[in-house]
Amino acid sequence: MKPSIFLQVFILCVFVPLCATPTVAAAPLNALKPFLKQHCYECHGAKMQKNELRFDRLSPDLSEPETLRTWQDILDQLNLGEMPPKKQPQPAPEDAAKIVDTLTATLKEAYSQHGSKGGHAVIRRLNRIELRNTLRDLLYLEGPVFRNLGIAKLQDNNGNGSVSRNSADPVQDFPVDEEEDGFDNIGDRLVMSDFLLKLIIGAAEESLKLATQDGGKPTVEARTFAGHIRTQGPNASLESWSRETHKKFDGIYQRYREPGASTGGMGRVGPSKIAGTGVGVAARYRITIELSAHNQKHPWGEIIESRQDEPMLIGLHQCNARKDGLNEGNPTNQQLTEWEIPGDGERKKITYETWLDASWTVWLGWENAPYQRGLRPSQLVQEFYPQHFKPKPDNKADNKIKQAYEPSMAATLFKSGYKGPHVRVHSMTFEPLIDIWPPKSHVSLYGENDEIKIESLILQFAQRAFRTPLVSEDITRYVDLVRAQLGNGRSRTEALEVGYTAIIASPRFYYLQESETGGKLNQFELASRLSYFLWSSMPDEQLFELAAAGRLSDPTVIHQQVERLLDHRNAKSFVRRFTERWLRLDKLGSMPPENGGPFRIYWDRQMEPEMIKQTDAFFSHILKSNGPIRDFIHSDYTFLNERVAFILYGRDDVWGDGFRKVPINNPKRGGILTMPAVMTATANGVDTSPVVRGVWILENILGTPAASPPPDVEPLAPDLRGNK
């Protein structure tokens, strides 16, 4: 932005002061002064101040946090019997008990008042995640479902995703938000500055550019991939056949996997031509898959263990192809949906619509495929068709001969008659859905044509940005700014972008403002409370409509909306952010296991994202099912996928990449306390620490943080062995 425009926007931004913290009334502690004078002033008075503590001037006003902490220290020492020192005269037990009781009750009331805001919520600004989500929803930016994997795009973990071109995250350069008790959405901590305002203006400009589509409609034709459907994974000898080079491809396609592989028995199946590059053009796609499932019930159950009473479960996944293709180690892998396919051999077509960025693609996995360790075609030929079996070439044989052995056994197996379960993917079609052009992101900003009045566009945008009804007088300054830009020779699009940037830079956008008069929230304030609580983003059209109709004061409507918001894909943001902050999983990765030795698998199999997904799945289940709170501590189930089950739980009875509810076979593994994510976050990367985990439980489960150590005790040297 040019300096002149920045100054104009900056001048328009009138800062809103934060509500002052309510004064805590002075507690009646003067009655305790005689006790302190008799037993404490000698060491903590005018002549001597041990540990820099002086009690003869200690204020009885507990509104100051430092004063409150000092009185708390006095209470702690009395409870522990540490003060007065043993060599000094001791108070009578009944006198000490009265002092402790009085001080305990007084401090309890003081803490309650400190936590109170006088019936008002402290006005707060949006944190980084909320700002990013709100920009996305305000501007109708769309993208693939995103779980918090640190991908540098305008996208977030609540399921509404990224933007239409590769771009840096518009808030990636923002400073980390201040925390309180692990949470980063506390009004008192979310300060504002001119530096942060400049960053918000920059984020607004970048996001508006992403929403603006001045060019013509892109030409993207539907593509069908039926030649080489690529798969990746271990034991790929049965996958390396292509329709382009082998006429009998459909008859020989099948694979068996090793334990711990993240997908089912056909590997990760996707179009080879875009497996490493992505679809090429960002758009919403209708993906049509033609496939058939065979031999759900089969006679080879002793060798190929499969769930013959269940249909084949096929999962559709997506990933950023440029990160690591279809490989298991790709940190962007995430499941979109699942289908049950009867194993009757009939061809079936299934479809799914989703947004894909230019570098993204999709792949299929057989989620409940046969579970065999290292089962190869040669073993099946030897077992069922011994007359056609050929021994494996000697290790001294030529590499080409050795590499051709399993494919030749695969061909022999299927020519002889393969009777085991298998899935055939016949084709995958990617059909772009861009009939409406320009997209909603552009039309909402500039209208369907240039005849739409600037006042109307600004009013509509400002009402959504400020999350409240407005009148013409409320937007005069923004309309005048746009007209001034037009007078300076800027185009209509450029002038409107400046106006929209000014609106986003207004405190009415980046602060969650509520009425200063107190009392009940109005309808639109209640809508924002709901959406930012459960979505970390602005209200949608339905919430705005209900607020305008005055229906959000109806408890039945509120209940219905809470259920709707929790069922919406945006609720993933609440699940991800709350579990991260409550359980302090944001610390995961700060002291990971050493990349080598006994914990190498943590890195080799990309376990950290999987552990986070497990915790999210467990919390989401309890939330949506309104499950008992005791399940967080002790449950007879957990959520596992194949990789986590095999590597971290030693189980070989869970198949597929998606997390699902499974009974536990060890009562110690129920609840969250022994989940791998929690145990890793409370360790140092080398070994466990009962003290660290004990403090974690006090702070995050019981809500009773451990007291600070006495000031004259030397701190322990930090254990940095696992620090990276």
DSSP string, 75-124: HHHHHHT-SS-TTSPPPPHHHHHHHHHHHHHHHHHHHHHHH--TT-PPPE
The strand pair at 334-341 and 312-320 is best described as antiparallel
Q: What is the pLDDT of residue 231?
A: 40
- Mean pLDDT over each residue of the chain, to the nearest integer: 78
Rounded distance, CA 170 to CA 184, Å? 19
- pTM confidence score: 0.69
Q: What is the pLDDT of residue 163?
A: 31
| Average pLDDT of the residues in 263-283 | 74
First to last CA, the chain: 39
Residue bearing tokens 């759900």? 296
Question: What tokens does 717 get?
Answer: 């040297």
Q: Which residues pair with 294 in a beta bridge?
A: 422
| Average pLDDT of the residues in 191-204 | 87
pLDDT tens-digit map of 278-335: 888 888 889 999 888 888 888 887 777 777 777 888 889 888 888 877 776 677 788 8
Residue bearing tokens 């989401």? 620
E strands of 181-232, at which residues?
Answer: 223-225, 229-232
Q: What is the pLDDT of residue 551?
A: 94
Q: What is the pLDDT of residue 86?
A: 79
Question: What tokens does 90 get?
Answer: 């001791």
> Of 240, 234, 254, 242, which is closest to residue 366 (Cα–Cα)?
254
Question: What tokens does 344 get?
Answer: 């009757």
Q: What is the pLDDT of residue 175?
A: 82
> Of 435, 603, 506, 721, which is closest to residue 14 (Cα–Cα)?
506
Q: Does the structure show a pLDDT above 50 at 422?
A: yes
Q: Does the structure show a pLDDT above 50 at 142?
A: yes
| Average pLDDT of the residues in 475-483 | 93
Q: What is the pLDDT of residue 249?
A: 43
pLDDT band of residue 546 (cuts 50, 70, 90) is very high
Q: What is the pLDDT of residue 312?
A: 83
Amino acid at 655: W
Q: Of 218-227, 281-290, 415-424, 491-500, where does mean pLDDT reach its minimum?
A: 218-227
Residue bearing tokens 């020492």? 77
Q: Does the structure show a pLDDT above 70 at 6?
A: no
- For the ranges 42-46, 295-299, 540-544, 714-718, the one whose mean pLDDT is highest: 540-544
| Average pLDDT of the residues in 447-453 | 81
User: pLDDT: is 148 or 285 the higher one?
Assistant: 285
Non-local CB neighbours of 275 within 8 Å, separated by 6+ positions = 230, 232, 321, 325, 326, 361, 363
Rounded distance, CA 273 to CA 265, Å? 22
CA dihedral in degrees (30, 32, 34, 39; nearest 10)?
A: -140
The SS3 of residue 194 is helix
CA dihedral in degrees (328, 333, 338, 344; nearest 10)?
A: -30
% of the chain at pLDDT higher than 70: 79
pLDDT band of residue 714 (cuts 50, 70, 90) is low
Rounded distance, CA 342 to CA 295, Å? 9
Non-local CB neighbours of 4 within 8 Å, separated by 6+ positions = none
CA dihedral in degrees (155, 156, 159, 163; nearest 10)?
A: 0
E strands of 140-258, at which residues?
Answer: 223-225, 229-232
pLDDT tens-digit map of 491-510: 999 999 999 999 999 999 99
Q: What is the pLDDT of residue 604?
A: 62
Q: Does the structure show a pLDDT above 60 at 143?
A: no
pLDDT band of residue 457 (cuts 50, 70, 90) is very high
Outline where 116-190 has alpha helix (H).
128-138
User: pLDDT: is 453 or 155 the higher one?
Assistant: 453
Encode 112-128: b = buried (16+ Cβ within 10 Å), e = exposed.
ebbeeeeeeebbbbbbb
Q: What is the pLDDT of residue 83?
A: 79
Q: What is the pLDDT of residue 254?
A: 37
Q: What is the pLDDT of residue 68?
A: 82
Phi, psi of 187 (to 5 degrees): -55, -40
In the chain, count H helices and then E strands.
25, 13
Rounded distance, CA 285 to CA 383, Å? 45
Rounded distance, CA 634 to CA 3, Å? 59
Q: Please name the helix (run of DSSP H) or strand (run of DSSP E) that holds residue 337, with its range, or none.
A: strand 334-341
Phi, psi of 431 (to 5 degrees): -110, 110
Q: Of 157-166, 240-249, 570-579, where does mean pLDDT reach its minimum?
A: 157-166
Q: What is the pLDDT of residue 253?
A: 40
Q: Of 11-15, 112-116, 333-337, where does mean pLDDT reach its minimum?
A: 11-15
pLDDT band of residue 153 (cuts 50, 70, 90) is very low
Query: To 10 degrees, what angle do helices 541-548 and 523-534 make?
Result: 160
Outline where 327-450 has alpha helix (H).
377-384, 399-417, 440-446
Amino acid at 221: E
